Amino acid sequence: MDKKINPIIIGAAQFTQRKETTQPLDSLSLIEKTARKAIEDTQAKDIINYIDAIYMVNIVSWSYEDAPGELGKKLNINPKEKKFMPDGGQTPQMLVNQAAEAIANGEHRCVLIAGGEAAYTIWRRFKGIRPEYWPERKEPKYINGDRWALKATTHNYQLSFPTTAYAIFETALRASSGRTIEEHNKFMGKLLEHFSKIASTNPYSWTQKAFTAKEIITPSSDNRLVVHPYTKRMCANNSVDQAGTILITSEEIAEKLNVEKKKWIYIMGGATFRNIDELYQRPRLDDSPAAREGVKLALEQAGLELKDINKFDFYSCFPSIVEIFMNELGIKEDDPRDLTLTGGLPFFGTPLSNYSLHAIVNTVEEIRSNPSLKVMVIANGGYNTKQSVGIYGKTPSALQWGVRDDSKIQKSILERELPDPIEKANGKIIVNGYSILYERSGEPKRGTAIGTLESNRRCVAFITKPELLSLAESQELVGKTCIVQYDPKMKRNIIIFIEANN
């Protein structure tokens, strides 16, 4: 029988470039800075000679012809494999899982995983105009994976806006929880208050002020309503400059390089799954089979039960995804375990697809400080679409990496897809979830609802009448019966009436 190879993280580093930086670095230079720090963190003199793969999370704020290759040149590394991934918040943990498999299967000796963004600098400070000392923007010459294509209905009803999609999940969750609008707002505020408190003590957080629940959920001049039921402080902040890097190898290589065992962090288990792409084709708007199955398999591989996990880092672009993960794992509101290590995407910051790499770096730091800890990271991409799970600790996995076939489970998730929605709907619908987009002034602009017709087919519709928007703000719309009509001028379905007392 082949010897079991255990993948471990031996180096980790992160960096946050502050607003007041005199000569701010571009995205790849930020990544280079953390890569050098991660290499230094290993305290292994010859580590450069063993790094034979560079995996990189997609960079959105600036673009390079061959970002992994350019990073390799800066570090004097000539990798035999380079990966540059499409957008997706699940990517960092997914790449960790892929690297763990590659190490376990003997495909690589050491994998460098990196990502970063200088989004604040280029978008806010320089207003998109390149500083003279930054490299010219060039389109990537390769991407390892398909870019995600959404259907026309998704774009027509602006479900491709993350704020709209996650707010629809939120109203579905609110209804299924049995909470009133006021009760649910308080619940979200309490949840995010704890995230904000953790962020306030994290030296790498973009926002280091601790906000109270009331300050988070109450609209104000600097905390405007974005989309019902979210204020600005409840949404991910992607206008940040942050980068991170980790190094993954095997126990054998780590020993050869004389990396101290106190630095070793085992990747104990992991899994990656995706949900049905389109929101309106999912049987439910308040769950995630991908997270449920991923957590189950990751725990099994680690040889652990959920009660053995001491801390979590749940992707937290909006409260709804945290709540979905809590529900899938059976974590109660009064569970004392932290659900974030960084402080979360609204407060720590959101370097776009690379957030969860910071969660993993924080995981490494926490376990090194307290070797008894077991930590679970759940990364999320798309619209509660793609989830990748990782479990970390100081002991090897119970089951070998790279031998499990997850294809049947993935197929079982996707085969529950509902038919396409009715394009031209006329009749009654029961609302399954909805959102209301606000003007910057705080006035409701437009609502979007997903509902089920009497024929049991789904449809998507706008809410445009001011009186109906006002009603949807103050009363729970999920579960209500509405009248929908197709408007040939707008070429959209429109809710024209909301029935009372139903």
> Which residue in 35, 37, 40 sits closest to 54, CA to CA?
35
Question: What is the tens place of the pLDDT at every residue in 156-208?
Answer: 999 999 999 999 999 999 999 999 999 999 999 999 999 999 999 999 999 99
Question: With bands split at pLDDT 50, 70 and 90, how would you rate the model's confidence at 500?
Answer: confident
| Residue carrying structure tokens 């290499």 | 39
Question: What is the tens place of the pLDDT at every residue in 447-456?
Answer: 999 999 999 9
Q: Is 354 helix (H, G, I), strand (E, B) or coil?
A: helix
Say if residue 502's pLDDT is above 60.
no
Question: What is the tens place of the pLDDT at every residue in 13-38?
Answer: 999 999 999 999 999 999 999 999 99
The pLDDT assigned to 214 comes to: 98
DSSP symbol at 209: P
CATH code, residues 7-133+142-148+238-414 = 3.40.47.10
- Phi first, then psi, for residue 452 (nearest 5°) are -115, 125
User: Alpha-carbon distance 248 to 5, whole Å?
Assistant: 12
The pLDDT assigned to 1 comes to: 41
User: Alpha-carbon distance 286 to 450, whole Å?
Assistant: 13
C-alpha dist (Å) from residue 156 to 423, 451, 461? 11, 16, 10
241-260 mean pLDDT? 98
The pLDDT assigned to 359 comes to: 98
Say if residue 80's pLDDT is above 80.
yes
Are 135 and 26 a contacting pair, CB within 8 Å? Answer: yes
Question: What is the tens place of the pLDDT at every residue in 383-430?
Answer: 999 999 999 999 999 999 999 999 999 999 999 999 999 999 999 999
354-380 mean pLDDT? 98
C-alpha dist (Å) from residue 10 to 61, 71, 157, 248, 302? 29, 19, 46, 6, 19
The pLDDT assigned to 3 comes to: 87
| Alpha carbon distance, N-terminus to C-terminus of the chain | 64
- What is the DSSP secondary-structure string of 224-259? -EEEETEEGGGS-----EEEEEEEEEEHHHHHHTT-
Question: What is the tens place of the pLDDT at every residue in 312-366?
Answer: 999 999 999 999 999 999 999 999 999 999 999 999 999 999 999 999 999 999 9
> Which residue in 79, 15, 55 sits closest to 248, CA to CA?
55
User: Alpha-carbon distance 297 to 301, whole Å?
Assistant: 6
112-130 mean pLDDT? 97
| 3-state secondary structure string across 75-95 | HCCCCCEEEECCCCCCHHHHH
- How is residue 386 written in tokens? 């793609």
For the chain, residues classed under CATH 3.40.47.10 are: 7-133+142-148+238-414
C-alpha dist (Å) from residue 317 to 271, 335, 383? 21, 21, 10
The pLDDT assigned to 192 comes to: 98
> Which residue in 202, 195, 238, 185 sits closest to 59, CA to CA?
238
Strands 81-84 vs 51-56: parallel, antiparallel or unpaired: parallel
Question: With bands split at pLDDT 50, 70 and 90, how would you rate the model's confidence at 298?
Answer: very high
The DSSP H or E segment spanning 436 is strand 427-438
Are 270 and 93 a contacting pair, CB within 8 Å? Answer: yes
The fold of 427-498 is OB fold (Dihydrolipoamide Acetyltransferase, E2P) (2.40.50)
Say if residue 112's pLDDT is above 70.
yes
Identity at 34, one-letter amino acid code: T
**Across the chain, what does the average pLDDT equal?**
97
Question: Between residues 379 and 1, which one has the greater pLDDT?
Answer: 379
pTM value surpassing 0.95: yes
- Cβ neighbours of 493 (radius 10 Å): 26
Question: With bands split at pLDDT 50, 70 and 90, how would you rate the model's confidence at 501?
Answer: low
